[in-house]
Amino acid sequence: MDIKNTFKITTINVSGLNTTLKQEQVLNYMKINKISCLIVTETKLQTASAKMIYKDYKDITTWWSCDDDNHFSTGVGIIMNNDYAKYVIKKDIIEGRALKLTLLLKGKIRFTIITIYNFSNNSYKDEILEFYTKLEEILTAEKKLKAKIVCIGDFNASYDTAIAQQRANRKIFWKDRIFQILKKNVMIDINLIYHDKPLNTWNRSDKKSRIDYIWVTEDLVPDTIYASTNKVHIFETDHSAVTVYFQIDDLFRTKQLFKKKKHNNNNLKVDYKKIDSQLWETYAEKLGKLLDKEKDLIDNVEISIKNINRIWNTIRDTFKKANNELLKKKGNPNKEVLPKTIVFYKRFLHKLSFILTNLTEKKIMSLNLTNYRECKKFIEKHYETISEICFKFAIDIDGLLDKNIKEFKEIVKIAFKLVQVNFTEESKIYKEEKMKFYIQRRCEDLQDNKKRFLDSTLNRKRSKIVLDKIVIEKNSVKQLILDEELIENELIEHFKSFAGKKLNSNETLKGSWIYQYSPKEDINECWYNEVIQPISESKWDHMIRQLANDKAPGISQISNEMLKHMGTSMKSATLKLANLCLQVGDIPEEWRHALFKKSVIKEKGITKQYTSIIGIDQGEVISPLLWTIYYDPLLAEINSLQMGYEIDYCFKSNVQSDQEEKFKINISSQSYMDDVTWITKSKAQLEQILKIADEFNIMNNIQTNYDKFEMITNKKLDKDIIEVNFGSSKRMIKPLTSKESVRILGVWINLDLKTNYVFNQCKDIIKRYNKTISFKQITDLQMKYIYNHVIIPRVDYKAQLLVWTNSQTEKLNSTCRYMFKRKASLPLTTPNSIIHSSLGYAIKDINTIQAQRQLSRLYNQVTSKGMMKDIFEIDCKQLQSELLSNKSPLATWNISLKDLQVKHCLLARVLALLYDNMLTIKSSGVKVNQIQGGLLPIVEICTHKEIFSNGISKGLKGKNVYFVNQLMSSDGIRLLRYKDLKHRTKINTQGRIPSWFKFIETKLIEDPLKSKKIRSDKSELNSD
């Protein structure tokens, strides 16, 4: 059976799903057997516990029906692969007994799965009959909606017994009435289609019976391939699993047959890869000849908007006529065409399935096929189908028209099984051939089409939203829309107005906004006069040559490739049009139309055009600049109030002097396009900023998504959730702590600079890619491209604001190397240098990439200007003070990353990383920040680790002690007593002797208890 190309539904009575072990076993059974939709009955779960199980699994979706008052003998559930769960539009339940899922498939097929678990105890007769009534109501309602229905589960009733009672002309048992309800709604026991005597599904030592069923509506039978009953070995249950297989193509990939699009040359794309230089020359000549006919129109024009439109129309039409010279792509090269044999067998599977649905015992009786004449008519009706397939397989059908209905049914069954076997075999061969084709194409694509190579290898699919159904709310009433035209109209209406109403220009500005929106007095309009100077031929030619290839041409269908090869005449005409636009201060009407007229891209084609009311098109190149202009009044207003986070620092360049250099910067925000981060030092200031932002948003009709609001703080809060005022509204927010991570523009950060969260993310990224490519047949060069251009860049981007240790980068590298060695058939003992060396495979080393990135970032900070320069300078001086260094850390760094004791400082970690990689930064922008007033720095008599132990660094920094001679007598022979420092260095010496002073004593004095004399090896302190 071709498992991969089927939608597989299985039902099992699990006899309880209360233990974690059983839950894992059931899920493993589903995955091992590649079940698309697993029905579990008798779960014995309560609603609360049912919601919790499988909640962490991202590839499945679950639905449950539980009876909390009597959960020990009830409960049904549906576990569905997310590839199919996305089609679910509705869920209905009968507590503990039934669960109905409605799927809306392509082609507007309504596919309904009704899961039931009938009462096992016959003493509940009233409840059972009431349950049957509800089931009948559900089936009747679904039939009216023309749904294809699957009724599946543990019926706790025997259809075989009911049939036997009917044959004996006896009244069937009241509990077997469920089968009459199913038959009344034209449903069929699918196992009887594929098996004369289906296996029992319930087996106990003293009793066996078939009580688990899958019934389907008659119109669904042709979509099935097979049905089976199998024992479950993974977990303990006294029931067998019952399964039905559906063709995926028949349900989930419905194609419109016999409807071909009319051939339209205008829709064909130009195949630029097949156009050589000679063909481009011919194209340019054609453009020139066509343009010569309109020479008078282009050369002799007045400066007016009317002439702009005329010139543009001429240029556009000329390009359109000349495009016939260019080679076009023929059809869709990626379109899959099935072999004729597979199409043949698939067609006959449908035909034979349909015949078998009319050969059930009930149909034979209702159609009176036991009668010779009626039987002959029935066989004659299907004679052509049977004779064609029997001839194919050399089945003897002599005297077919004289066969009775049972003999004819046996022939149909034999033919069906032969077709099924051959269909499976041909499909297998076809898939193997396609696999070889794609493997070969992958090798070619590595050079010619890298995007297609990556899409194929990494199973990447273009993200899209299938809008075949929408829910709208009108007058507080929700309704489901399925009609294509109505969906398109609602879609257009949504995109026209979802960004808010147009700003009322007549409304007067109030308060400080008057100043923010008024023209700036320090701006001279003459500064921009040069902007509208005529474009020279050289600049125009340079700009044309800089255009990127492989870009969508827009509604004019004039691509960048065409512009690059348009020839001298057309280049002059386009330059004339551009300069005319600058002179008039306007653009062609068609361009303006393209700017404001939009369409929504659907799965098939686009919607009709609509006029955009408000909003910034983020697909436009100029959109970042537009956002800057749009938000500038808000950011300027908040900056003027100085309510942001304040960075300040006092720096002494001479320890003997009282003079201090003060630095102070106020930062209230950082923004990119419509993403804004507010930075403040208190909740009150944050609420004031949010109030101003709310005023701005209301004034400009900006909609804010408060659900995306995140708050992070390094302050310990009394409450986990706090109330925050957003101006006109209040929200309850749960602030993140400094140890938790938050994402800003795709980069995860936390205030404590912890690396574990992002490290685990990156490790999972590599593992996911490894899992994807582990089953692919790819070469070492293809692996190299994937690692160097996809995996490692993703990892590097996520880690921009972090510095990993050697052990962390080695773990990531080893994860990459293991898979690479395995796929390249290299021994695991292959030296790592061969993998990473440029003389070997040249797989990028994550540690080296990290060092390169941080070095570039540090260099940009050193050479930066404005606020970034000031912030970096403060950062350097704060780190210098933390280290007790008399020079800038950029000039004197010698600490390894593993020995680094400084916390919460990215600059320190970057410098340590560069030191480990023997990298230094040389720039005229690096300031030494030399601290005067002493001879021997404290850091030269002790190690970095010693300074940061027992609060020594904090104590020395607090007393402004950087040099040893600050603590010595004037002659440099002995160390002063702690009390004497009050007069020498003006240090407050009240209280007991601090640990930092005792530490200095142990470093400089031979025996502190006997004498304060400096050790002989420190005699250099006596020299000036």
The 10s digit of each residue's pLDDT in 168-186 is 888 889 999 999 999 998 8
CA angle 1007, 1013, 1017 (to 5 degrees): 85
Residue (of 9, 396, 49, 53) closest to 213 by Cα position: 9
Instruction: Compute the distance between CA of residue 616 and CA of residue 600 in angstroms, rounded to an integer.
Output: 15
Last residue of a domain, which of 408, 425, 441?
Answer: 441
Residue (of 37, 40, 3) closest to 22 by Cα position: 40
Contacts of 250 (CB under 8 A, 6+ apart): 222, 223
Question: What's the confidence (pLDDT) of residue 239?
Answer: 94
Q: What is the pLDDT of residues 231-243, one digit of tens each?
A: 988 888 999 999 9
Instruction: Examine the pLDDT at 568 and tell me if it is beyond 60.
Output: yes
Residue (of 80, 197, 75, 68) closest to 150 by Cα position: 80
Our count of domains for the chain comes to 6
Question: What's the confidence (pLDDT) of residue 829?
Answer: 93
Question: What's the confidence (pLDDT) of residue 202?
Answer: 92
Asked whether residue 400 falls in the same domain as residue 307, the answer is no
Question: What's the confidence (pLDDT) of residue 62?
Answer: 94
Question: What average pLDDT does the segment 456-462 reach?
Answer: 84
Asked whether residue 804 falls in the same domain as residue 829, the answer is yes
Q: What is the pLDDT of residues 98-119, one digit of tens each?
A: 999 999 887 678 899 999 999 9
Instruction: Compute the distance between CA of residue 172 and CA of residue 597 in angstroms, rounded to an integer.
Output: 68
**DSSP labels for 1003-1021?**
HHBS-TTT--BBPGGGGGG
For residue 217, the cross-strand partners are: 187
Asked whether residue 272 falls in the same domain as residue 231, the answer is no
Residue (of 80, 77, 61) closest to 18 by Cα position: 77
- Burial, 927: exposed, middle or buried (Cβ in 10 Å; 0-12, 13-18, 19+)? middle
Q: How many CA atoms lie within 13 A of 973 on its CB side?
A: 2
Asked whether residue 772 falls in the same domain as residue 717, the answer is no
* Length of the chain, in residues: 1024
Question: What average pLDDT does the segment 1009-1020 reach?
Answer: 69
Residue 108 DSSP label = T
Residue (of 344, 503, 347, 497) closest to 426 by Cα position: 344
Q: What is the pLDDT of residues 255-300, one digit of tens each?
A: 433 334 444 445 567 888 788 888 888 988 998 888 888 877 777 7
Higher pLDDT, 316 or 704: 316
Residue (of 337, 431, 419) closest to 386 by Cα position: 419
The pTM (predicted TM-score) of the whole model is 0.69
Asked whether residue 938 falls in the same domain as residue 804, the answer is no
Q: With H, G, I as helix, E, B as strand and everything else as coil, classify residue 958.
A: helix
Residue (of 928, 929, 993, 946) closest to 967 by Cα position: 993
Question: What's the confidence (pLDDT) of residue 2?
Answer: 43
Is residue 971, in this structure, part of any structural domain at all?
yes
3-state secondary structure labels for all residues of 886-950: CCCHHHHCCCCHHHCCCCCCHHHHHHHHHHHCCCCCCCCCCCCCCCECCCCEHHHCCCHHHHCCC
Is residue 658, in this structure, part of any structural domain at all?
no
Last residue of a domain, which of 398, 413, 441?
Answer: 441
Q: With H, G, I as helix, E, B as strand and everything else as coil, classify residue 222.
A: helix
Question: What's the confidence (pLDDT) of residue 255?
Answer: 43
Is residue 446, in this structure, part of any structural domain at all?
no
Asked whether residue 696 falls in the same domain as residue 796, the answer is no
Instruction: Compute the distance between CA of residue 678 and CA of residue 669 in angstroms, rounded to an integer.
Output: 5
Is residue 166, in this structure, part of any structural domain at all?
yes
Instruction: Examine the pLDDT at 913 and tell me if it is beyond 90.
Output: yes
pLDDT band at 619 (very low <50, low <70, confident <90, very high): low
Question: What average pLDDT does the segment 200-205 reach?
Answer: 87
Question: What average pLDDT does the segment 405-414 reach?
Answer: 89
Residue (of 222, 238, 158, 172) closest to 350 by Cα position: 222
Is residue 923, in this structure, part of any structural domain at all?
no
Last residue of a domain, which of 844, 859, 879?
Answer: 844
Asked whether residue 183 falls in the same domain as residue 103, the answer is yes
Residue at 653: amino acid letter: S
Instruction: Compute the distance between CA of residue 488 and CA of residue 172 in angstroms, rounded to an integer.
Output: 53
Is residue 91, in this structure, part of any structural domain at all?
yes
Asked whether residue 362 falls in the same domain as residue 320, the answer is no
Q: What is the pLDDT of residues 462-487, one digit of tens each?
A: 776 677 778 888 787 878 787 778 88
Asked whether residue 24 falls in the same domain as residue 95, the answer is yes
Question: What is the extent of the structural domain holding 383?
Answer: 340-441
Asked whether residue 93 falls in the same domain as residue 122, the answer is yes
- Asked if 833 contacts 840 with a C-beta cutoff of 8 angstroms, the reply is yes
Question: What's the confidence (pLDDT) of residue 262?
Answer: 42
Q: What is the pLDDT of residues 955-975, one digit of tens each?
A: 888 888 888 888 888 777 888
Asked whether residue 327 falls in the same domain as residue 359, the answer is no
Residue (of 677, 842, 826, 691) closest to 743 by Cα position: 677
Question: What average pLDDT does the segment 791-795 reach?
Answer: 93
Is residue 489, in this structure, part of any structural domain at all?
no
Q: Which residue has the tokens 């050589």?
A: 276
pLDDT band at 64 (very low <50, low <70, confident <90, very high): very high
Question: What's the confidence (pLDDT) of residue 603?
Answer: 66
Q: With H, G, I as helix, E, B as strand and everything else as coil, classify residue 270.
A: strand
Question: What average pLDDT does the segment 851-864 reach?
Answer: 90
Higher pLDDT, 805 or 525: 805
Instruction: Examine the pLDDT at 641 and tell me if it is beyond 80.
Output: yes
Residue 237's alpha-carbon distances to 44, 59, 79, in angstroms, are 13, 26, 18
Q: What is the pLDDT of residues 323-357, one digit of tens each?
A: 877 877 665 555 667 788 888 888 888 888 888 87
Higher pLDDT, 582 or 466: 582
Task: Classify residue 316 as left (phi > 0), alpha (psi -120 to 50) or beta.
Answer: alpha
Instruction: Compute the distance between CA of residue 162 and CA of residue 269 in angstroms, rounded to an integer.
Output: 64
CATH classification at residue 15: 3.60.10.10
Helices 683-699, 623-640: axis angle to 10 degrees equals: 130
Is residue 763, in this structure, part of any structural domain at all?
yes
Asked whether residue 84 falls in the same domain as residue 221, the answer is yes
Question: What's the confidence (pLDDT) of residue 614?
Answer: 65
H-run or E-run covering 130: helix 125-144
Question: What's the confidence (pLDDT) of residue 259?
Answer: 38
Task: Classify residue 96 as left (phi > 0), alpha (psi -120 to 50) or beta.
Answer: left
Q: Which residue has the tokens 């089976």?
A: 228
Q: What is the pLDDT of residues 15-52, one digit of tens each?
A: 999 888 899 889 989 988 889 999 999 999 998 889 88
- Asked if 712 contacts 751 with a C-beta cutoff of 8 angstroms, the reply is yes
What's the mean pLDDT when you consider all of the chain? 85
Tell me the percentage of the chain whose pLDDT exceeds 70.
93
Contacts of 296 (CB under 8 A, 6+ apart): none
